[in-house]
Structure 1
């Protein structure tokens, strides 16, 4: 069962002062490279990386990898536009399902993505999502049967996978992933994560502005 991975990495990182979070590095590897390597290690199907803001800076991080980089010129419209570009890139690909992943959840691993796939195979559900956060939200990383592709094509603005997960809760299995609640939207998030790891976080040589 070929399963694609759509990596959403088009945002402008406005809460980081416009410095691209995709290029934050830890242990010598950028976040965009880390999630790309995790997706490719699945060896389950095509990997599509959707870039937008800061394309020229980010694209070289992926240039030597066997994945497809897609530029979303409509990235300011929100997450839905990137999801649509990812699905359009899969039109000619014989896939049965697709994973949706972000770049700012640093604890996402190949094993976690494989768990989503395994859970789908075991339950037969069309959606498998991660449960996390104090409120117990269901969200990404998540897996969707390809039949949900047409539903994604109807979304707009900054609406993403969570809307469909909620809308089709009856067809959704879940796995616990508390660490998905840790994302890197602000420098405070970055600093807190860095302290948690006991190691510094950098962004390709650019220090956060005070």
Structure 2
């Protein structure tokens, strides 16, 4: 699907002076930072990946030689990052139609973002294609061969940004639900934030949820409903975790925000589950797919899917309601349709079972009164 003539260029030649330690070889999960950066491009469909080295190159070689990458040495790395980009473009210019430029300290790019950037480049043929998150441009841009001569002839003043500004009229942006496009690691605090983000990368942040809702144009009603469901779900998780359970709060809140991501489409719960998976949030798929109909056995523990199911049934529109109020309208509306009525009654019964089990677990008189308060 993706041309080998779009080359991935990872810049890992700098001093890491602000960090105080060599960034490319810092651990990130079970891998090094540089390995994670390579994975980001490779999983997004970039087959030809080249890493520019300079400072402490001898320490990088043993790691890079195990990876499916080529190595470009920049003997002028002391001159700054632009010199590394020039070295990279000089090495690939004869064979590439474009390159995707990724700083080695911005390693957490979702594969879905890489694919969207390449798709937009293929559609437009733009000189530069930038990813954006919350309206801010990030990495990695796709830079076409229209820019190569200007880069090679540049004097370095203003860096790559100054060169690319000359092509502003022939540039496009791609909004992505990917906070990682803005996350670099110049300082130890940046690194610690990046490590926390990496540990929970299969669950979207609140802002990533909003970006997904915007991407699929769900509308204000779905947003307000999701925000209220997320708030109720958070309240239920807090109660349960206070009683000794260990439920994932971030997972439930994200599920509340995104459970109606595919609202209005056929079988929207399953479709929503597929959408979140395709955007890199596989941990969320199950609870989104089960938010409307949930199979609950007597032995099954209360989990995040059960919490989201109940929270959704305690909200009508953007109002908190009792289960009776929530189900009165559909029960009356479908009273003459036995098949749909049976489904509504089944959902009501499941919600009541979950409510009663949570009430017993947390030891309160009325869960609904607490939620409605």
Same fold (TM over 0.5): yes
Correspondence for 2:189: 188
- Contact persistence 1:139–1:162 (CA under 8 A): no
CA-to-aligned-CA distance 1:21-53 (integer Å, 9 cap, x gap): 111222211111111123234454522110111
TM value normalised by structure 2: 0.48
- Contact persistence 2:28–2:198 (CA under 8 A): no
**Structure 1's 47 and 179: CA in aligned 2 closer, same or farther, altered over 3 A?**
closer
Distance 1:10 1:92 in 2: 22
Greater fraction helix = 2
Deviation at residue 172 of structure 1 after TM alignment: 0.6
Correspondence for 2:10: 7
Structure 2: gaps of 5 or more residues? 201-373
Distance 1:59 1:69 in 2: 8
- Contact persistence 1:79–1:158 (CA under 8 A): no
SS of equivalent to 2:164: helix
**Structure 1's 9 and 159: CA in aligned 2 closer, same or farther, altered over 3 A?**
farther
Distance 1:78 1:125 in 2: 27
Moved more, 3-12 or 115-124: 115-124
Correspondence for 2:106: 105
Correspondence for 2:57: 55
**Structure 1's 126 and 52: CA in aligned 2 closer, same or farther, altered over 3 A?**
same
**Structure 1's 111 and 59: CA in aligned 2 closer, same or farther, altered over 3 A?**
farther
Moved more, 181-190 or 156-165: 156-165
- Contact persistence 2:106–2:184 (CA under 8 A): yes
Give the paired residue count: 195
Distance 2:126 2:62 in 1: 37
- Contact persistence 1:116–1:128 (CA under 8 A): yes
- Contact persistence 1:6–1:100 (CA under 8 A): yes
Correspondence for 1:204: none
Correspondence for 1:172: 171
Aligned 1:41-190 pairs, distance under 5 A: 41-93=43-95, 95-132=96-133, 136-157=135-156, 159-177=158-176, 178-190=179-191
Correspondence for 1:27: 29
Deviation at residue 159 of structure 1 after TM alignment: 4.1
- Contact persistence 2:131–2:173 (CA under 8 A): yes
**Structure 1's 158 and 65: CA in aligned 2 closer, same or farther, altered over 3 A?**
farther
SS of equivalent to 2:67: coil
Pairwise CA RMSD of aligned residues? 2.3
Structure 1 stretches of 4+ moved >4 Å: 42-45, 195-199
Structure 1: gaps of 5 or more residues? 200-210
SS of equivalent to 1:48: strand
Compare relative contact order (CA 8 Å, sep 6+) and give the higher one, 1 or 2: 1
Structure whose CA Rg is larger: 2
Distance 1:197 1:98 in 2: 25
**Structure 1's 90 and 193: CA in aligned 2 closer, same or farther, altered over 3 A?**
closer
